Amino acid sequence: MEKGPKIIIEPPGPRAKQIIERDKNSVMQSFSRWYPLVVDKGDGVFIYDVDGNKYLDFNAGIAVNALGYSNKRLQEAITNQTQKLIHYSFTDFLYESTVRLAEKLIEISPINKDVKIFFGNSGAEANEAMMKVARWSTRRQNIIAFIGSFHGRTYGAMSLTASRPVQRRFFGPFVPNIEHVPFPYCYRCPFGLNPENCDLFCVDYIEEQVFQKFVPPEETALFIAEAIQGEGGYIPAPEAYFKKLKKF
Ligand SMILES: Cc1ncc(COP(=O)(O)O)c(C=O)c1O
């Protein structure tokens, strides 16, 4: 058994090629696959493709498989629950397992304990819910999002997203009252400034240009931000940015 990664045939191998062909003929071709990896199984930090190549996995299902593959405790928990009950619609009825999970998440969450949990099916659904909660609870309409952001593929989440024209082309009109502002991307500053002496002009821009020219602040419900932009280019905001923004 190899300890590390091992390529036994150049990917995509024959089995992968076959599945890629079948995918083209049967699955809607709306996803952006960056390279033709056809995954078969996982074990710990490794992932295997259908031709037997073994990879050290840095994707982690796009940053969600943090417990590793074939995790025994996870398998056991899933198996036990499937033997008891798979689904009964928590939106209409209650079960203790879901309430218990909410309690656990509150207990371990690093944020204020005075929180409640929303269970959704995806990141996009979480963002849809957030927009609804923000608008409903504030009775305000405006939302600010970042240029370069990615928030999901449903209409609300897509309207927040601004990272590539292909995500918008031919899909409009979008959810209204969402304004996009530049992300603090210091390496390629959208304002052409130098982070050494710019004094975080990108926050002043929101205050002086956005809120004083066309977005009434008292009608603004939400500012959505990735602390580190993902799809926009894996860009961390400088540490002082959110402090200044929060103060503003
Ligand atoms: C920052 C961010 N938000 C939201 C999403 C959407 O998540 P989902 O694909 O689960 O809807 C993604 C997906 O990659 C994401 O990177």
Indicate whether residue 203 lines ligand 1 (CB < 6 A).
no
Q: Say which CATH number the domain at 37 has.
A: 3.90.1150.10
The answer on 243 and 127 residing in a single domain is yes
pLDDT over 70 (residue 211): yes
Quick one: pLDDT at residue 135? 98
Query: Which domain-ending residue is among 119, 143, 169?
Result: 119
Domain boundary among 31, 66, 84: 84
Range of the domain at 101: 87-119
User: Side chain identity at 108, as an amino acid letter?
Assistant: I
Question: Is the CB of 150 inside a 6 Å radius of any atom of ligand 1?
Answer: yes
Determine the distance separating the centroid of ligand 1 and the alpha carbon of 115, expressed in angstroms: 22
Nearest to 159 by CA among 144, 142, 178: 178
CA of 206 to the centre of ligand 1 (A): 25
Residue 194 Cα to ligand 1 midpoint, Å, equals 31
Across 38-47, 102-111, 213-222, 235-244, least confident range: 102-111
The number of distinct structural domains making up the chain is: 3
Same domain, 185 and 211: yes
Closest atom of ligand 1 to 152 CA is 6
Residues 113 and 135 in one domain: no
d(CA 76, CA 246): 43
Query: Is 148 touching ligand 1 by the criterion CB < 6 Å?
Result: no
What gap in Å lies between CA 103 and CA 32, rounded to an integer? Answer: 37
Q: Are 161 and 242 members of one domain?
A: yes
Whether residues 104 and 167 share a domain: the answer is: no
What are the start-end ranges of the E strands in 130-231? 142-146, 178-181, 220-223, 228-229
Indicate which atom in ligand 1 lies nearest the CA of residue 124: 11
Which residue type does 127 have?
N
Residue type, 30: S
Using only C-alpha atoms, the chain has a radius of gyration, in whole angstroms, of 22
Q: How far, in Å, CA of 103 to CA of 105, rounded? A: 5
Q: What is the largest CA-CA distance in the chain?
A: 64
137 and 231 within one domain:
yes
pLDDT at 8: 97
> Do residues 157 and 225 share a domain?
yes
Residue 214 pLDDT more than 70?
yes
205: Cβ–Cβ under 8 A, 6 or more apart, which residues? 181, 182, 191
C-beta of 62 in contact with ligand 1 (< 6 A): yes
Indicate if 137 and 191 belong to the same structural domain. Answer: yes
CB 98 within 8 A of CB 90: yes
Question: 231 CA to middle of ligand 1, Å?
Answer: 9
The stretch 50-64 carries a mean pLDDT of 94
User: What is the torsional sign of CA 133, 134, 139, 145?
Assistant: negative
E strand or H helix at 240: helix 239-247
Task: Report the residue among 119, 121, 122 best suited for mutation to probe ligand 1: largest number of ligand atoms under 8 A from its CB.
Answer: 122
Q: Atom 2 of ligand 1 has which residue's CA nearest to it? A: 151
Confidence band (pLDDT; 50, 70, 90) for 40? very high
Ligand 1 center to residue 125 CA distance, Å? Answer: 9
Residues in the chain, overall count? 248
Looking at the DSSP bridge assignments, the partners of residue 47 are 42, 55
**233, 220: one domain:** yes
The reply to whether 79 and 101 lie within a common domain is no
pLDDT score of 1: 58
Question: Ligand 1 centroid to 116 CA: how many Å?
Answer: 21
- Cα 157 to averaged position of ligand 1 atoms, centre (Å): 9
Of 84, 109, 134, which residue is a domain's last? 84
Q: Is 124 in the pocket of ligand 1 (CB under 6 A)?
A: yes
- Mean of the per-residue pLDDT values for the chain? 95
Higher pLDDT, 168 or 113: 168
- SS3 at position 106: helix
Residue 62 alpha carbon, nearest atom of ligand 1: 14
Q: Which band of pLDDT confidence, cut at 50, 70 and 90, is reported for residue 31? A: confident
**Residue range 72-89: average pLDDT?**
95
Burial 15-24 (b: 16+ CB within 10 A, else e): ebeebeeeee
Asked whether the predicted pLDDT for residue 36 surpasses 90, the reply is: yes
Same domain, 233 and 159: yes
Residue 6 sits in the same domain as residue 61: yes
Q: What is the dihedral sign for C-alpha 68, 70, 76, 79?
A: positive
